[in-house]
Homo-oligomer: A and B are copies of this chain.
């Protein structure tokens, strides 16, 4: 039994708290903390009403490690599930090092002035986690997270040697708004404005943003224009599977989304350089845009349709070329009914809690800083089935 601290009370925090409350065989004391305590209280109230479980709530500024240390000590926390902003990864990791709590996140550390960051900052803390006799599990949402575990599953159970990975992420849902992001607008739009990047023949190749697009057919959902973007799990997959000759990430966008995205980009609304508004007060165009776009959590009203995220892994099995499509489909209305959050939050929060659960049970345990593909995929997939996100594996025969 472990005491769990969830940091972040957006959509992912909501799903994580709900799922933790459904796993009280693993989690004894569930604490939810975020900058805005009222958001935690709303989630706690919903969980109490739906599941009859009590969770504790706190206001917490997680940018300061001393605040996190204080809360970890006060509540005797064993595992910190960090699903707030990626600006806070490092102070929260430092708090875990100083208290011996285990750490999990779902997105890699970023700084406000630079969205183009890599795992080095977090991997560099490996020795410190080892000394503290605890572990950090990085990138344990869906993508990054489950996508890498899918690759690991293919490498261990489907193929003798893996050669190529293409990740495809598509939200076929419709929230009816002109333009909105499904998670924090600032973090989401920073990511999409980076140059595209992919691995091919032993080197990284860079594209202009949105330079490469393809029509991809998503099983059970249909075809959608999908654009090659840089996505952080490519870095760790390429590191951990050195036999890979190619690794790419594609995300689909609706015409409506692309129309607004391109216009806003042209006008400069995605710039991250702050503009002075008043004496001692500045804000970047992207941060301002984030303030006026719909709250991703509010999209749950009338959100319909499904998400489809998966990987196509190519490789060799017994001397023959083989190709597998491993994917998950999530239904927005079902996710909202269960947790009050749509699939983009659901598919991130559920794997995060599974990661915490496997660490709590020491099924996934190795002191230091690790990515999810360093562990056995099978117990994770078994939990995915139980926790509402079943994985499908199909062979693609050509």
Say whether B281 contacts A267, CB under 8 Å.
Answer: no
Contact of A264 (CB < 8 Å), options: B264, B275, B280? B264
Say whether B268 contacts A263, CB under 8 Å.
Answer: no
Contact of A292 (CB < 8 Å), options: B259, B260, B269? B269
Which of chain B's residues has its CB closest to A261's CB? B263
Say whether B271 contacts A263, CB under 8 Å.
Answer: no
Say whether A292 contacts B277, CB under 8 Å.
Answer: no
Q: List 24 A-B contacts (CB under 8 A).
A: A178-B266, A178-B267, A179-B263, A179-B267, A259-B259, A259-B263, A260-B263, A262-B263, A263-B263, A263-B264, A264-B267, A267-B292, A268-B292, A269-B292, A271-B292, A275-B288, A275-B292, A277-B283, A277-B288, A278-B278, A278-B280, A281-B281, A285-B288, A288-B288
Say whether A260 contacts B269, CB under 8 Å.
Answer: no
User: A272 to B218, alpha carbons, bound, how many Å?
Assistant: 42
User: A269 to B289, alpha carbons, bound, how many Å?
Assistant: 8
Report if A277-B275 is in contact (Cβ < 8 Å); known contacts: A263-B260, A267-B292: no
Closest 4 pairs (CB-CB, A-B): A263-B263, A278-B281, A178-B266, A281-B281
Say whether B292 contacts A285, CB under 8 Å.
Answer: yes
Given contacts A178-B266, A269-B292, A277-B278, 8 further A-B contacts (CB under 8 A): A178-B267, A179-B263, A259-B259, A260-B266, A268-B292, A269-B269, A278-B280, A285-B288
With a CB–CB cut-off of 8 A, which chain B residues contact A277?
Answer: 277-278, 281, 283, 288
Which of chain B's residues has its CB closest to A260's CB? B263
Q: A78 to chain B: closest CB distance in Å? A: 38
With a CB–CB cut-off of 8 A, which chain B residues contact A292?
Answer: 267-269, 271, 275, 285
Interface presence of A392 (CB below 8 A): no
User: A263 to B292, alpha carbons, bound, how many Å?
Assistant: 14
With a CB–CB cut-off of 8 A, which chain B residues contact A259?
Answer: 259, 263
